[in-house]
């Protein structure tokens, strides 16, 4: 469902990609139902389709898992 919404109105649509390009949702990755990126050349995209507080809760959970697993990189957006 989220992939279809993103394909119709958001991230995937802007990139000209079909709904099938969305292999999983952030929830799928956080629950361990999907492994997420399989290589350094894979790309992840975030297309918020819920209420802002839901998006913030999911983003915070993703951030915490990345920090616990020491993955990703820190980017200072305020400098």
Q: pLDDT at position 43, please?
A: 78
Is pLDDT of 68 > 90? yes
Tell me, yes or no, if the pTM score tops 0.75. Answer: no
More confident residue, 17 or 40: 40
Neighbours of 53 (CB within 10 A): 8
Six-digit token pair at 6? 């993103």
Average pLDDT, the chain: 79
Q: Which of 4-8, 46-50, 54-58 has the lowest mean pLDDT?
A: 4-8
Which backbone phi and psi does 18 adopt, to 5 degrees?
Answer: -80, 165
Q: Which two tokens stand for residue 19?
A: 């709904």
């Amino acid at each position: 469902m989220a992939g279809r919404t993103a394909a119709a109105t958001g991230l995937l649509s802007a990139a000209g990609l079909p709904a099938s390009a969305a292999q999983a949702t952030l929830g799928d990755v956080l629950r361990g139902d999907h492994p997420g990126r399989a290589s350094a050349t894979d790309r992840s995209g975030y297309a918020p389709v819920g209420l802002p507080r839901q998006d913030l809760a999911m983003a915070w959970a993703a951030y915490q898992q990345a920090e616990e697993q020491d993955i990703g990189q820190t980017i200072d957006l305020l400098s």
